[in-house]
A and B are shown apart, each in its own frame.
Chain A
Amino acid sequence: MSAPAPPVGMLTELTHRCPLQCPYCSNPLELHKAADELSTDQWLSIFDQAADLGVLQVHLSGGEPTLRTDLEELVSKLADRQVYANLITSAVTLTRDRLAGLADRGLHHVQISFQSLKPERAERIGKYKDALAKKLQVAKWARELGLAVTLNAPIYRQNIDEVEKFFDTAVEIGAERIEVAHVQYYGWALLNRASLLPSAEETARAVEIVDKARGRLKGILNIDCVVPDYYAKYPKPCMSGWGREFFCVAPDGKVLPCHAAQSITALEFDNVREKPLAEIWEKSDAFNRFRGTGWMKEPCRSCERKEIDFGGCRCQAFALAGDAAATDPACTLSPEHQAMRALADRESGQPAPAFTYRRIGAAL
């Protein structure tokens, strides 16, 4: 096999610690504690290795990345290497001084997630007092400091009536970009799926609102949408293809083809504590297993869309079809699709069970 093309983007989960407890979190159920986390020097080395390898964009995420007190040093390193630095944050821990410091050091973009635009709802989902007001305040500071802002709107049963309002708010706060992210059911979200899945009708309405906004907000707001897998026709091109453009580094240094990949229990992952990043990207079994199209079975193998959606999501195939090499059941061509859709109709049609909130140890 010839060497794979170099990656363009890296998602770094700097920590699994988080002041919020959102039940839709896609982090794994087994959350790492602070003692497992990589050191500052280890992260700095990863950023150098990633830049050498060809990475142009880094997403500083988690957990809540601002809980790392060395975030400033990490941002400086990215700026030194001309790597585009995106902060993916809940924003509730940020002060204006800290944000200004990060902007000075070369941060380009802040993505702030909103649980809801109704204060009580936001508190009920995130379990954090006054979270909404804090987020709006941080968005305002970010604009004042000249940072690009993305409003990230995870969409689920308890807030799907707010899609229109998310667009209005994104325009009001001066965001460049909105990400309407129908919740992806991995990790904590999968555990809470019966509580979170909206109905097919509600989802269709939300999709229509997004389509209309695209026309109305051209040149005003960049709109990205994470599709609702359970009601899809074709699967998402997950990670733009496994091991093709992106990878993820977990808090403990494991290098993953996507942030949920550890849910595929048959795979083993290499760690940057033990091997150089370039070697892992090019040679690790976990990356090569589903790279390209050679691993595909039918109906993917002979499908004309195989280079468009790359068979969808391996984690979802493993979780719902029991085989990580199967077609993503989100695809209408998958033999498992009807069962997935029936499951969605059943769960979304029943009263929502109580959430299992995201806390270390809560799901074990």
Chain B
Amino acid sequence: MAARERKLVGLESKPKLPAHVILRRDDVRDRWVALAPERLVELDERSLDVLRLCDGTRTVDELAHELAEAYDAPQDVIAEDLMEFLQNWSDRLLVQL
């Protein structure tokens, strides 16, 4: 079921992509995109990195830790960006929290 109330992201949320959101390579335009009902979102490298980690098993806190290591950046800064990104995607029903 889709969320019937607006979900708010927290450090304990375990984000995942709904079955109807597809990430794919768009070779014709040399980019990655997310596809959903009547939606097409062009993905930059960082968005793609984040979305690929959203498998529903790891918390936002764990994802932030992983990304902080990958980008060699402070975890609290990464966590803040990550929560803003996930809230925005959740509000468009493109990520489940």
A binding-site residues for B, Cβ under 8 Å: 6, 8, 53-54, 56-57, 82, 84, 86, 108-109, 111, 143, 146-148, 150, 171, 174-177, 179, 218-222, 224
Pair A108/B20 contact, Cβ less than 8 Å: yes
Pair A219/B37 contact, Cβ less than 8 Å: no
Cβ contacts A to B, 19 pairs, < 8 Å: A54-B26, A54-B29, A56-B26, A56-B40, A57-B35, A86-B38, A108-B37, A109-B36, A148-B20, A148-B37, A176-B2, A177-B37, A177-B93, A179-B38, A219-B3, A219-B90, A220-B5, A221-B93, A222-B38
Q: Which of B55-97 contact A (CB under 8 A)?
A: 90-93
Pair A219/B93 contact, Cβ less than 8 Å: yes
Please provide the 6 A-B residue pairs with the shortest distance between their CB atoms, ordered closest to farther.
Answer: A219-B6, A54-B28, A148-B20, A84-B35, A219-B91, A109-B37
Pair B28/A176 contact, Cβ less than 8 Å: no
Given A8-B40, A84-B35, A219-B93, answer yes or no on A176-B22 (Cβ-Cβ < 8 Å).
Answer: no
Contact of B91 among A111, A147, A218 (CB under 8 A): A218
Pair B20/A53 contact, Cβ less than 8 Å: no
Most buried by A among B6, B28, B29: B28
Pair B38/A177 contact, Cβ less than 8 Å: yes
A264 to chain B, nearest CB (A): 26
Contact of B20 among A57, A176, A221, A224 (CB under 8 A): A176
Contact of B37 among A6, A54, A150, A174 (CB under 8 A): A150
Tally chain B residues at the interface, Cβ within 8 Å.
Answer: 26
Given A54-B29, A108-B22, A109-B20, answer yes or no on A222-B37 (Cβ-Cβ < 8 Å).
Answer: yes
Interface residues as binary, B28-53 with A (CB distance below 8 Å gives 1, 0 otherwise):
11000101111110000000000000
A49 to chain B, nearest CB (A): 12
A57 to chain B, nearest CB (A): 6
Pair A218/B6 contact, Cβ less than 8 Å: yes
Most buried by A among B6, B20, B40: B20
How far does the alpha carbon of A221 sit from the alpha carbon of B3 in the complex, in Å? 9
Determine the residue in chain A with the shortest Cβ distance to B36: A148
B60 to chain A, nearest CB (A): 16
Contact of A6 among B2, B28, B92 (CB under 8 A): B28
Pair A53/B35 contact, Cβ less than 8 Å: no
A28 to chain B, nearest CB (A): 24
Determine the residue in chain A with the shortest Cβ distance to B29: A54
A128 to chain B, nearest CB (A): 25
Contact of A219 among B7, B22, B29 (CB under 8 A): B7
Determine the residue in chain A with the shortest Cβ distance to B90: A219
Determine the residue in chain B with the shortest Cβ distance to A217: B6
A175 to chain B, nearest CB (A): 7
Determine the residue in chain B with the shortest Cβ distance to A179: B38
Please name all residues of chain A whose beta carbon is closer than 8 Å to the beta carbon of B10 when the two chains form the complex. Answer: none
Pair B3/A220 contact, Cβ less than 8 Å: yes
Please name all residues of chain B whose beta carbon is closer than 8 Å to the beta carbon of A146 when the two chains form the complex. Answer: 19-20
How far does the alpha carbon of A174 sit from the alpha carbon of B35 in the complex, in Å? 20
Contact of A53 among B22, B24, B28, B33 (CB under 8 A): B28
Pair A56/B35 contact, Cβ less than 8 Å: yes
Contact of A222 among B7, B29, B92 (CB under 8 A): B92
Please name all residues of chain A whose beta carbon is closer than 8 Å to the beta carbon of B37 when the two chains form the complex. Answer: 86, 108-109, 111, 148, 150, 176-177, 222
Most buried by A among B2, B3, B28: B2
How far does the alpha carbon of A109 sit from the alpha carbon of B92 in the complex, in Å? 16
Please name all residues of chain B whose beta carbon is closer than 8 Å to the beta carbon of A147 when the two chains form the complex. Answer: 20
Pair B22/A6 contact, Cβ less than 8 Å: no
Given A86-B37, A109-B37, A146-B19, answer yes or no on A174-B24 (Cβ-Cβ < 8 Å).
Answer: no
